[in-house]
Chain A
């Protein structure tokens, strides 16, 4: 049964999604102007998952995300200015400009990246959850990855370990059907991904990732189940990325008609249509929220542009958390190679 949603809540969901969409559209602009460089992976089309899932978490929970994580970071509550500053390589950025688009980190919201090795974040999430379980803290670690990660050994090792030790991990698979340019059916013998979780004894469910009401409802139910101490839960969100894999992708592997078909089911479009159908809202609401987001984005861009570049002398800072060691290695860098 479709959960009941008030106008207020529906607009909150819409606001959160629109922030992500508009932020990324601005990122494309800044990338084209060479203000953002490196790899940049856009989330447009998948916004309903980040928004729904983050709404299911408490501030004490942890998030381990992928390199397509702008949406997760914003929905988690990381301020937009420092996120944008990171994209611009400024020291006011969330990772002091050392991470860039793919590596957003934030201790305050327990956001553990921004991980760009496909599958590499799953063991980290298992460990974070293990720490919580061993110290009897009732927290959830939310681990987000794409369907491409399912082919990695780390996926299987991590699901097994989390299930074996009954760890509080919420596994969130964003199945957007393509691992870079490789379609799911060209890389997996079994394409029904949530079944793989079931094979480890992990309760799993496939959810429409284009409908934010569904994603939020599914994520909340799953997070509560994890919080109850029964062990991990696995959600497969079926979604689609509207943009290319990265800014370097010519999209030779999928046809435009397919992209258009999915766009008709876009999460923002879907929610606005639902608001209209139920009489709870209209396109005017969308326009207002877009204007609001644009103002925030403009401020974030201004913050980022006003940001400063970390002095090159500080290059070797933070290689080690141990400050004494840091100083010593800085010396090695400066005398050894030059």
Chain B
């Protein structure tokens, strides 16, 4: 058992993959000499050299597309985009190429590219560096979308993603990089298919992922002191969604609060809510509740930003209301 940060877990995962498979390389803005804008790739240039730790120009579309092309050409690229906000400059490549080529070619060409990016707010970086747009990507067939929240998954999802013959988008919440945790000895690849119940309870299910997971677990701790026991589900994978785990939890608790740092309108939380209606409507004792970011561009000022993003005390308040409510 070692104590490491989330950042170090991602770095070790990249290092291991690069050591074990010569097809793997890392490419992105400032991943080399700078060490990564979140310092994830620090030290990798020294170990692997410029050929395999490739600094790119500020050309998101070209280097993401080049990652897709290199994957078509037999490589296993890891493309780092600094944040999801900048990924919009590469949206064409991700949505029109990575997601379509396999189907559109009648199954002739898989696209085994891994695209990592930071997501989320909470660092007073204002509206162009703070958004949570992973739900958009989860809309798109042909992509796999995952959001590792724990040290285990930060370390274990990347190697599994690299094994997939399809494009995998990995969303790393920017506030998680400094989080410390235990990585068990012999920790290895983790799956990209299942949600995990991180805490069990019988009174409500809190469904969340990524940066909101620890807020939800903290909230569950507070609620437990009042005798409210929450199931906390870490979605882990946003596409495909693990319906079975969600529905099994709903069947036990009969109340659901979805916590998502994305906006509410047309969102991942809306999708999960709809699936619960379709698959578990008669299990519910109360309407599905959602706690999402306020429908505003995330602002700079600390008090406004805090108010815009779901916080632990908001989760507690929503959970209490949900448990008190009866149909």
Q: Decide if A and B are genuine partners.
A: yes
- CB pair A329–B106 under 8 Å, yes or no, is no
Contact flags (1/0) for B80-98 with A, using CB distance below 8 Å?
Answer: 0000000000001100110
Name the CB-closest residue of B to A315.
B103
Tell whether, in the assembled complex, residue A319 and residue B102 are in contact, meaning their CB atoms are under 8 Å apart: yes
Contact B240 A318 (CB under 8 A): no
- Do residues A130 and B69 form an inter-chain contact, with CB atoms below 8 A? yes
Given the complex, which residues of B lie within 8 Å of A332, measured CB to CB? 240
Measured CB to CB, the nearest residue on chain B to A133 is B51
- B96 to chain A: which residues have CB within 8 Å? 117, 120
Q: Which of the residues A97, A112, A132 comes within 8 Å of B106, measured between beta carbons?
A: A97
Cβ-defined partner of B104 (8 Å) among A99, A106, A325? A99
Restricting to A238-274, which residues have a CB under 8 Å from any CB of B?
none
Identify which of residues 114-150 in chain A touch chain B, using a CB-to-CB cut-off of 8 Å.
Answer: 114-115, 117, 120, 122-132, 134-135
In the bound complex, residues from chain B placing their C-beta under 8 Å from that of A317 are 107
Please report which residues of chain B, range 110-159, place their CB below 8 angstroms from some CB of chain A when the two chains form the complex: 110-112, 141-142, 144
Interface size on A, residues (CB 8 A): 51
Q: Assess whether A320 is interfacial by the CB under 8 Å rule.
A: yes
B interface residue count range (under 10 / 10 to 19 / 20 to 34 / 35 or more): 35 or more
Q: When the two chains form their complex, are residues A99 and B105 in contact, meaning their CB atoms are under 8 A apart?
A: yes
> Given that A131-B74, A154-B92, A329-B240 are contacting pairs, would A126 and B166 also be in contact in the complex, using a CB cutoff of 8 Å?
no
Knowing A107-B109, A154-B62, the reply to whether A318 touches B103 (Cβ < 8 A) is yes
Q: Which residues of B contact A130 (CB under 8 A)?
A: 66, 69-70, 73, 75
**Interface stretch (choices A14-22, A47-55, A156-164):** A156-164
A336 at the interface (CB under 8 A from B): yes
A26 interface residue (CB < 8 Å to B): no
B53-79 CB mask vs A (1 if < 8 Å, else 0) is: 000110101111111111111110100
B107 contacts across to A, CB distance below 8 A: 96, 317-318, 321
Say yes or no for A313: interface residue by CB 8 A criterion. Answer: no
**What is the CB-to-nearest-CB distance from A316 to chain B, in angstroms, rounded to a whole number?**
8
Q: B240, A98: Cβ atoms under 8 Å?
A: no
Q: Is A186 part of the contact surface with B, judged by Cβ < 8 Å?
A: no
Q: Which residues of A contact B97 (CB under 8 A)?
A: 115, 117, 120, 124
Q: State in angstroms the CA–CA spacing of A261 and B121 once bound together.
A: 60
A98 near B66 (CB under 8 angstroms)?
Answer: no
- B67 — nearest CB in chain A belongs to which residue? A127
What are 9 inter-chain pairs, A to B, with CB distance below 8 A? A98-B104, A105-B101, A123-B65, A124-B65, A131-B75, A134-B25, A161-B56, A328-B240, A336-B278
A126-B62, A134-B52, A322-B166 are known contacts; what are 5 more A-B pairs with Cβ within 8 Å?
A127-B73, A131-B70, A157-B61, A318-B102, A322-B110
Task: Give 4 closest A-B pairs by Cβ, nearest first.
Answer: A127-B69, A123-B65, A131-B73, A321-B110
